[in-house]
Structure 1
Amino acid sequence: MYERILLPTDGSEHTKRATEHAIDIAQTRGATLHVFSVVDDRAFLVLDDDRVDEVRSELEENALDAIAEAVEAADRDGIETVSDVDVGNPANCIVDYAADNDIDLVVMGTSGNEYEENVVGSVSKRVVDISPVPVLTVGSDA
């Protein structure tokens, strides 16, 4: 049932907890773990044009570091991984990646950030709302 699991990561603590769950499920199911990070281009809207390249570069480096950390954890448990980075709206990119790569399950963290949840709307909530596949959300205390 779960042959391809998607783990969106930003390297945060709540994502680290989701990584543990994704690895456990992948190991139990013999699944491939797709580790994916998104450079949120909405951050560029408020920047002066001369800072966009600098900030994009920093965010891309952070995304690659987050992926490397999750891939290293999966490798320790002998789990096959695929990794990728995209630029755009995180929720849309996650859902598009899931559809384009025949993902069976998305495992992702939730921040529990009250402001984000009530005012902005969290990425995980949006993914749950629009995902074509099941989504397992993991809180930081899970």
Structure 2
Amino acid sequence: MYDTILVATDGSEDSAAATDHAMALAAPTGARVHAVAVVETRTAYDNAIVDPDEVRENLRADAREAVDAVARVAESAGVDCETTVDEGPPPERLLEQVEESGADVVVLGATGRSGFKRLVLGSTTEQLLSQSPVPVVVVGRGNESSRGA
């Protein structure tokens, strides 16, 4: 059904549910998983109290942990997994990763870590649903929906 499944992760509970769903799709078919975390650079602090480079490194470390968590789940499931940490506006970077990875489907959580960012920046999930050239599966803690397929 799918050869490459892109999993967008931010380490949230919904991302963990999306990871589980992606593995359920990949394991029986031999599909490869590409885990992507995007560091949102537009919200990094830039003031005299917090060093912007330190904030960026902390955000990159969090993103690395998020994709590494997907890789551990994939290894346990016997699924090939590639990981990428990117920087920039998440919807744009994820759409670029869809193209670069040759993904057949995107799996991501219904909500991310920050409801505030969702209100200020717009929902990454909503933007992917409207702009993705491949089907998008949206997974939440206990509810799933999809577009495409």
Q: Identify the residue that residue 95 of structure 1 maps to in structure 2.
A: 95
Deviation, structure 1 residue 141: 2.0
Give 1:72-87 correspondences, 5 Å limit.
72-87=72-87
- Partners of 2:24 and 2:81 lie apart in 1 by 13
Give 1:35-74 correspondences, 5 Å limit.
35-44=35-44, 46-48=45-47, 51-74=51-74
Tell me the SS of whatever aligns to 1:59: helix
Q: RMSD of aligned C-alpha atoms?
A: 1.9
- Partners of 2:35 and 2:2 lie apart in 1 by 15
TM normalised by structure 2 equals 0.87
Q: Assess if the C-alpha contact under 8 Å between 1:7 and 1:34 holds in 2.
A: yes
Name the CA shift for 1:115/1:87 in 2 (closer, same or farther; >3 Å).
closer
**Unpaired stretches in structure 1, ≥5 consecutive residues:** none
Q: Identify the residue that residue 140 of structure 1 maps to in structure 2.
A: 141
Q: Assess if the C-alpha contact under 8 Å between 1:111 and 1:140 holds in 2.
A: no
Q: Deviations over 1:33-60 (max 9, x none)?
A: 001110001113x522762101000000
Deviation, structure 1 residue 117: 5.6
Q: Which has the higher helix share?
A: 1
- Partners of 1:58 and 1:119 lie apart in 2 by 22
Name the CA shift for 1:75/1:122 in 2 (closer, same or farther; >3 Å).
same
User: How many aligned residue pairs are there?
Assistant: 141
Deviation, structure 1 residue 128: 1.0
Q: Assess if the C-alpha contact under 8 Å between 2:34 and 2:101 holds in 1.
A: no
**AA matched with 1:48:** N
Tell me the SS of whatever aligns to 1:28: coil
- Partners of 2:130 and 2:22 lie apart in 1 by 20
- Partners of 2:68 and 2:43 lie apart in 1 by 23
Q: Identify the residue that residue 107 of structure 2 maps to in structure 1.
A: 107
Q: Deviations over 1:72-118 (max 9, x none)?
A: 01100100011111000011100100011211000000118876666
Q: Percent identity?
A: 34
